[in-house]
């Protein structure tokens, strides 16, 4: 728990749901002030209200689309005075869309994944990093995936986007050596969030993804992120693969 004099600022993208919302809860409880972003501002407002009932922290909200470079730029400009003091950036906003074979896939789904998971993350990070360098430190946590290490049928482009997150994390850490900025890539297996609903477009199909097995929860990954952030300053957890016990590999799931 941080004292009032040492409150840190964390920016979490994609905080309206799932892992991002759970991470906001964890970091608020740990005493972080928060900047929370997503498209669904109403959801962020409800989250803010709930968090502030339990923790004395400042929370700034911004509703915009990570696919729109201009909207990211406007956010960076409008919130510059706070973002210049940012300690932590959690690049969490992302999605998978569709599970069709490559030859049948929808080009719009590809654009949506690449523009959100890769370009959005890049532009946001490019905006924040110079401020972290100026301040002399920071921690960037990227939301990768086991899909950033292994590929499965129908997942080529989502996996490509998460392979990119892994490459970006690697490259960033190397370019930032000596700047006191940590870069960590968190790579979860199956987590029960709105992820599969967004991907499949139907609750029934989404439920089938987790049928007969116990997936990770958003809180499990939030706790992992919180642990990574709370390591002493000289420790950088480079990457962390976290599977549910019932999932031994990206395509190997035990169901009861
Ligand atoms: P989720 O519940 O669907 O949350 C996704 C979040 O990303 C939402 O807050 C969503 O907010 C935001 N987002 C999506 N597209 C956006 C856009 N264009 N602009 C702004 N925000 C956007 O899913 P989740 O599982 O928590 O996903 C979080 C991250 O974890 C993603 O990067 C995902 O790839 C990764 N991941 C998930 C799993 C899993 O099994 N669930 C496993 C490994 C990695 P709005 O819709 O309100 O904009």
Task: Tell me the pLDDT tens digit for each residue of 215-244.
Answer: 999 999 999 999 999 999 999 999 999 999
Ligand 1 centroid – CA 94 distance (Å): 4
Q: Is the CB of 215 under 6 A from ligand 1?
A: no
pLDDT of residue 203: 97
Ligand 1 centroid – CA 178 distance (Å): 31
Q: Catalytic amino acids?
A: 158
| pTM exceeds cut of 0.95 | yes
| pLDDT in 10s for each residue of the chain, 256 residues | 555 557 899 999 999 999 999 999 999 999 999 999 999 999 999 999 999 999 999 999 999 999 999 999 999 999 999 999 999 999 999 999 999 999 999 999 999 999 999 999 999 999 999 999 999 999 999 999 999 999 999 999 999 999 999 999 999 999 999 999 999 999 999 999 999 999 999 999 999 999 999 999 999 999 999 999 999 999 999 999 999 999 999 999 999 9
Length of the chain: 256
Q: Is the CB of 19 under 6 A from ligand 1?
A: yes
Of ligand 1's listed atoms, the one at least distance from the Cα of 93 is 7
pLDDT of residue 226: 98
Q: Is the CB of 62 under 6 A from ligand 1?
A: no
Tens digits of per-residue pLDDT, 117-135? Answer: 999 999 999 999 999 999 9
Q: Is the CB of 143 under 6 A from ligand 1?
A: yes
Backbone angles phi, psi at 179, to 5 degrees: -100, 5
Ligand 1 centroid – CA 93 distance (Å): 5
Tokens of 251: 């395509």
pLDDT of residue 5: 53
Of ligand 1's listed atoms, the one at least distance from the Cα of 193 is 2
Q: Which of 144, 127, 42 lies closest to 91, judged by CA?
A: 144
Superfamily assignment of 4-253 in CATH?
A: NAD(P)-binding Rossmann-like Domain (3.40.50.720)
Beta carbons of 9 and 34 less than 8 angstroms apart: yes
pLDDT of residue 165: 99
pLDDT of residue 107: 98
Q: Is the CB of 161 under 6 A from ligand 1?
A: no
CA-CA-CA-CA torsion sign (198, 200, 203, 208): negative
pLDDT of residue 3: 52
Ligand 1 centroid – CA 132 distance (Å): 25
Q: Is the CB of 60 under 6 A from ligand 1?
A: no
Pocket test for ligand 1, best of 36, 38, 115, 241 (most atoms within 8 A of CB): 38
């Amino acid at each position: 728990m941080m004292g009032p004099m040492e409150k840190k600022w964390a920016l979490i993208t994609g905080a309206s749901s799932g892992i991002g919302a759970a991470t906001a809860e964890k970091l608020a409880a740990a005493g972080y002030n928060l900047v929370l972003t997503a498209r669904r501002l109403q959801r962020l407002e409800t989250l803010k209200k709930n968090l502030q009932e339990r923790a004395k922290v400042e929370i700034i909200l911004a509703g915009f689309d990570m696919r729109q470079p201009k909207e990211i730029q406007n956010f960076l400009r409008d919130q510059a005075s706070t973002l210049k003091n940012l300690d932590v950036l959690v690049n969490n906003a992302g999605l998978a869309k569709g599970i069709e074979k490559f030859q049948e896939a929808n080009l719009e789904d590809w654009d949506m994944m690449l523009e959100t998971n890769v370009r959005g993350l890049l532009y946001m990070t490019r905006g924040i990093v110079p401020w972290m360098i100026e301040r002399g430190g920071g921690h960037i946590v990227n939301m990768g995936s086991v899909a950033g290490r292994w590929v499965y049928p129908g997942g080529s482009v989502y996996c490509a986007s998460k392979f990119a997150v892994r490459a970006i994390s690697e490259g960033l850490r190397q370019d930032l050596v000596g700047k006191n900025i940590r870069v960590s890539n968190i790579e979860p297996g199956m987590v029960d969030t709105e992820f599969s609903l967004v991907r499949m477009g139907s609750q029934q199909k989404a439920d089938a993804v987790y049928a007969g097995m116990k997936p990770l929860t958003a809180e499990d990954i939030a706790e992992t992120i919180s642990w990574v952030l709370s390591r002493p300053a000289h420790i950088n957890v480079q990457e962390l693969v976290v599977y549910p016990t019932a999932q031994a590999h990206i395509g190997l799931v035990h169901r009861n």
